[in-house]
Structure 1
Amino acid sequence: MQRQAIHYFANSNSSRGYVSFYESNFGALERVVPLHGYPLKPLGNLLEDICDCAAEQKRRVEWIHNCLDNTPEGIILPDLSAGVINIPFYAEHNALNLLEDYNIRQTRKALDEAHALFAAALHIHDEWEKVYIGKMDFRAADELAKETEARLIGDRHTEKKGRAIDRYFGAATVNGSFDYIANITQCLGKRYFIKGRPGTGKSTLLKKLVKKAVDAGFEAEVYHCAFDPQSLDMLVVRELDFCIFDSTSPHEYFPSLPTDEIIDVYEAAVEPGTDEKNAKKLTQFQHDYKEQVGKATEKLRLAKESYDRAQQTHLSRLDEAACKESAERIKSILFRT
């Protein structure tokens, strides 16, 4: 059976600024076509055309989405070691560009303000975590990690060199938090849902599993937290037919298949009654955190409005025949064998 297309993000507007995993996803490809500031309509037509060609050849397809508005931004064809990616103008900082559009500058300003608000939310989240860190049984957490490593990977290994590919399964978009977890995990035989609280070691558990998988020679799809890219949210090892991910808010999922399984870090390693004893404080943290994220989301909307205006300026100058010619050249590069 041919594997269905998967969708993910390679960039994030986060509490640590605009963080890109471009190199991790495109650096090892033999052929890459980087586009710069392609307007949405011709880009969408190009990517759909590439996808149709790949389907005719029964090639695997990976869709990369824009972290601002979730529109398609690029495609990777793993079987051909080829890809195309559109790099928005606001992601390219060039202080010497005297012709830069006013709307691009406004886009960057709004994004910088969004990043600052996400950073404020991260500070609140750090304080939120301290409630649970102070009640953690770290020995129990270590034992849970060892047991999970043994169950998911054990002594299995390959003779090749392992590799980690860094991505995001979701993003903080203009329409709020969005993720592709269901799509990314749809063809896997086993899914593990990590339940816990902020600061209970979910990301630490995932980091240990990533190291174990890579050391054993497997290719690890490592999905970082879009809010804080230094934290991990999911690991997929397709060669071992499993994924394990943080399934708490804002990407809360529950088992829906007979093979799904929960790993509850709170139950295993946190002092019972911690939620109840700190209920008032935790409610306030949650409220303050959501308030900052809501303000950041509004700044993302302003950024998109400014960038849409810039796009309209460029779109009016495009020649349809030139677009078609460019698309044919791009496809010839990608599908060259």
Structure 2
Amino acid sequence: MVLMGIKNFYAGSNSSQGFYSLYDQATSDLDRVYILKGGPGTGKSSFMRKIGLILMDKGLDLEYLHCSSDNKSIDGIIIPKIKVGIFDGTAPHIIEPKYPGVVETMIDLGAYRNDAYLAKFKSTIISLTNDISTNFKAAYQTMKEAKEIHLNKEDIYLSSMDFDKANVITEDLMRSIFTPPFEKDKNPKVTKRFFGAATPNGAVNFIDNITEDLSKRYIIKGRPGSGKSTLMKKIGRHAEAEGLSVEYYPCAFDPNSIDMVIIPTLSVAIVDGTAPHVVDPFRLNDIVVDMFRLCMDTSIEETHKKEIGELNMAYQTKMTLATNFLSEAKRLHDRLEDYYKQSMDFEKVNKKREEVLQEILYLAAIEETT
């Protein structure tokens, strides 16, 4: 078996803005895209996983796009070398073909479903589907309320912020990161993905996996309002201006904020290392930058101790409740899947999967000979 590389990401997240999709980004640079349609329990995730296992065995690097609503499921796989991807194209991350038959191929696994069998459970299926939707709406509303609490806490810390010091730190970091000489990328790209998500099991991230091959990580510590996201946005924009590719990783909870920037050519990551995705230095070239101690009057936590404590408690309560709603939606979805699984002809699904696999292996073989 040939060693290969696997990277794990999310292209969609349960957020304070509702379900937030970056699937357009994930598919935009691919030459061939297989879009899987079909209801729950039709085997879309298994379809992709089984193909992925064989491609891994062939030594192909893979990117897995995980499902933010089911920790054991995936929503897509990408084979970067041949620019091919397979995606779950159903709600909430609906993907429709832009160049059907030329780039995208639609695969309807629902064609192998026995709808006459499902009709016997019509009322239960409708009820479960509606209850799932209700729980997701409740989760998103609760996250929105948690965001308001977070902003109130941010206002307290902002009152102690020294923005001049933050600008100096940013400039110092940029001098450290962009040390000449370095070559510009021939075709620089800007991409966006999530390194984590709010899931039925709570906050999950793949920071260590995504950054494992990079030479240096700048770990930004701080408090709300300490300028972590602004610092990273400035560094990312500077990298773009220098003609370098940049990977932006928005905050899964608040997609308007940035939690990590990677500059592949320089082999550098700048990452927010605070909760819920705590990153502590454990590698030789991990450098910690504590914006709270460097740019804020730290006495703010003593003078507003009671208020900050109450806001922390309120925020945690809201996020726990939101996770509970996501967990309940997952439980109901599992029940719904059971009905659909019983209606499926998985022999036909397996046959279709083998057809797709052979097409991908053929494309990989062409790549090897060119």
In the superposition, the TM-score normalised over structure 1's length comes to 0.92
Counterpart position of 2:80: 78
After TM superposition, give the deviation of residue 303 of structure 1 in Å: 1.3
Is this contact kept in 2: 1:162–1:215, CA < 8 A?
Answer: no
Question: Which blocks of at least 5 consecutive residues in structure 1 are unaligned?
Answer: 94-98
Is this contact kept in 2: 1:29–1:82, CA < 8 A?
Answer: yes
**Alpha-carbon distance in 2 for matches of 1:38, 1:333:** 24
Q: Is it true that 1:59 corresponds to 2:71 in the alignment?
A: no
User: Quick one: which of 131, 135, 139 aligns to 2:164?
Assistant: 139
After TM superposition, give the deviation of residue 2 of structure 1 in Å: 6.4
Of stretches 57-66 and 157-166 in structure 1, the one that deviates more from structure 2 is 157-166
User: Quick one: which of 326, 333, 336 aligns to 1:300?
Assistant: 326
1:106-255 alignment runs, 5 A limit: 106-155=131-180, 156-255=182-281
**Alpha-carbon distance in 2 for matches of 1:301, 1:262:** 35
After TM superposition, give the deviation of residue 88 of structure 1 in Å: 4.2
After TM superposition, give the deviation of residue 38 of structure 1 in Å: 6.0
Counterpart position of 1:13: 14
**Alpha-carbon distance in 2 for matches of 1:185, 1:21:** 20
Counterpart position of 2:114: none
SS at match of 1:316: helix
Q: Which amino acid aligns with 1:313?
A: Y
Of stretches 55-64 and 122-131 in structure 1, the one that deviates more from structure 2 is 55-64
Counterpart position of 2:100: none
**Alpha-carbon distance in 2 for matches of 1:122, 1:111:** 16
**Alpha-carbon distance in 2 for matches of 1:325, 1:288:** 52
Q: Which amino acid aligns with 1:77?
A: I
Counterpart position of 2:284: 258
Is this contact kept in 2: 1:37–1:89, CA < 8 A?
Answer: no
Is this contact kept in 1: 2:41–2:338, CA < 8 A?
Answer: no
Q: Is it true that 1:286 corresponds to 2:288 in the alignment?
A: no
Q: Which amino acid aligns with 1:84?
A: I
Q: Which amino acid aligns with 1:114?
A: A
Q: Which amino acid aligns with 2:175?
A: A
After TM superposition, give the deviation of residue 23 of structure 1 in Å: 0.7
Q: Which amino acid aligns with 2:213?
A: C
Larger Rg: 2
**Alpha-carbon distance in 1 for matches of 2:41, 2:65:** 14
User: Quick one: which of 316, 323, 335 aligns to 1:309?
Assistant: 335
Of stretches 172-181 and 149-158 in structure 1, the one that deviates more from structure 2 is 149-158
Counterpart position of 2:99: none
**Alpha-carbon distance in 2 for matches of 1:310, 1:36:** 16
In the superposition, the TM-score normalised over structure 2's length comes to 0.84
**Alpha-carbon distance in 1 for matches of 2:40, 2:316:** 32
Q: Which amino acid aligns with 1:13?
A: N
**Alpha-carbon distance in 1 for matches of 2:278, 2:299:** 22
Counterpart position of 1:268: 294
Q: Is it true that 1:328 corresponds to 2:330 in the alignment?
A: no
Evaluate the alpha carbon distance shift between residue 117 and residue 22 of structure 1 in structure 2; reply closer, same or farther with a 3 A threshold: same
Q: Which amino acid aligns with 2:351?
A: E
**Alpha-carbon distance in 2 for matches of 1:81, 1:179:** 25
Question: Which blocks of at least 5 consecutive residues in structure 2 are unaligned?
Answer: 96-121
Q: Which amino acid aligns with 2:21?
A: S
Q: Is it true that 1:31 corresponds to 2:57 in the alignment?
A: no
Of stretches 158-167 and 231-240 in structure 1, the one that deviates more from structure 2 is 158-167
Please give the per-residue CA displacement for 1:60-91, whole angstroms capped at 9, x wherever unaligned. Answer: 11111000122222111110101111134455
Identity of aligned residues (%): 29
Is this contact kept in 1: 2:250–2:260, CA < 8 A?
Answer: yes
SS at match of 1:218: coil
SS at match of 1:35: strand
SS at match of 2:85: strand
SS at match of 1:84: strand
Counterpart position of 1:96: none
Q: Which amino acid aligns with 2:176?
A: R
Evaluate the alpha carbon distance shift between residue 217 and residue 126 of structure 1 in structure 2; reply closer, same or farther with a 3 A threshold: same
SS at match of 2:348: helix
Is this contact kept in 1: 2:249–2:261, CA < 8 A?
Answer: yes
Q: Which amino acid aligns with 1:237?
A: I
SS at match of 1:223: strand
Is this contact kept in 1: 2:12–2:93, CA < 8 A?
Answer: no
**Alpha-carbon distance in 1 for matches of 2:345, 2:313:** 50
Task: Kindly report the root-mean-square deviation, in angstroms, between the aligned alpha carbons of the 2 structures.
Answer: 2.2
Q: Which amino acid aligns with 1:17?
A: G
Is this contact kept in 2: 1:31–1:83, CA < 8 A?
Answer: yes
Aligned residues: 332
Is this contact kept in 2: 1:224–1:231, CA < 8 A?
Answer: yes
Is this contact kept in 2: 1:132–1:198, CA < 8 A?
Answer: yes
